[in-house]
Chain A
Amino acid sequence: DAGVIQSPRHEVTEMGQEVTLRCKPISGHDYLFWYRQTMMRGLELLIYFNNNVPIDDSGMPEDRFSAKMPNASFSTLKIQPSEPRDSAVYFCASSLRDRLPKKAVDTQYFGPGTRLTVL
């Protein structure tokens, strides 16, 4: 089975430019998560979706960040305009939850990440 797929793996851009990160979750999974990892702040949850609907975006740092999930197999995280402090590794993860027994606990499967550098 293909795991979570993220593209690009590396992105270098200049301050002020728009950046779009892409994620394809594992087929059949009903939750999708976007995380950011930095040395200073560790791994932070930005936003997550359930059945393509955003559930909690309280971790999105600013209005410059936006995320969409137009269908069950694709999500984007956009930064516009980008700033040097946005430099980080961005991870997408997916899980299967809704069809599990009520008390079961799902597992989040992570993609390889996109390393973003904003100059």
Chain B
Amino acid sequence: AQSVTQLGSHVSVSEGALVLLRCNYSSSVPPYLFWYVQYPNQGLQLLLKYTTGATLVKGINGFEAEFKKSETSFHLTKPSAHMSDAAEYFCAVGKRNFGNEKLTFGTGTRLTIIP
């Protein structure tokens, strides 16, 4: 079985500060890992994904995430927060044997940017 834990349901950072959103996963097989962003009243949009190869993955809007197998983590970072980054962020894990047909999502982290 797979599971995802996002530490911190709410995170607030000042504009220009580092953004760090934490995600730990549990999977019996090497996972596929994803970060999605959800803006108010919209569907989820893929930020980035890790499948294989380079463990540091760059995504859209200046975000990146690093897959650390030893820590079973896939934390999302952005060096400098912008007001437009305010949204809810979801980490997800997919089953490797089946591509990503079944994703298990974390409970989400709401990011607030302080002017």
Contacts and interface: CB of A to CB of B under 8 A. Distances in A.
Task: Classify chain A: how many residues form its interface, as a range.
Answer: 20 to 34
B20 to A, nearest CB: 21
Given A105-B49, A110-B45, A112-B43, A42 B106 contact: yes
Contacts of B108: 42-43
Contact of A42 (B52, B94, B105): B105
A111 B41 CA distance: 11
Interface residues of B, number: 23
A45 interface: yes
Contact of A43 (B41, B42, B49, B105): B105
Interface of B: 32, 36, 41-46, 49, 51-52, 90, 94, 99-108
Interface of A: 4, 31, 42-43, 45, 48, 50, 55-56, 91, 93, 95, 97, 100, 103-113
Q: Return the 10 tightest CB-CB contacts between A and B, nearest first.
A: A110-B43, A43-B105, A110-B44, A105-B51, A42-B107, A112-B43, A111-B43, A107-B46, A105-B32, A105-B100
